Amino acid sequence: MTPLPAALGGSDLVGWCLDQAAFAPTWDSGEGAYRVGGRWNSRGVRAVYCSIDPSTAILEVAVHKG
């Protein structure tokens, strides 16, 4: 688990983001959202989608990846 950058709460706040192991080294780059856009950002804008509760992150995976 990697703490969020200081500007986003640092070690006092943990964000949960579940994805494939291949994306682990760059989980906080926002590259996927930059390339294709997402629910809350347009293509060309970097965003990292995560949850403050692990159960919400698990639910997101279940809903979107089956």
Element (H, E) at 65: helix 54-65
Global pTM reads 0.64
How high is the pLDDT of residue 36? 93
Rg of the chain, C-alpha, whole Å: 12
The secondary structure of residue 26, as a DSSP letter, is G
* Token output for 43: 């293509």
How high is the pLDDT of residue 59? 92
As beta bridge partners, residue 51 has 16
* Token output for 37: 């856009």
| pLDDT tens sequence across 4-38 | 667 766 666 778 888 888 988 888 899 989 999 98
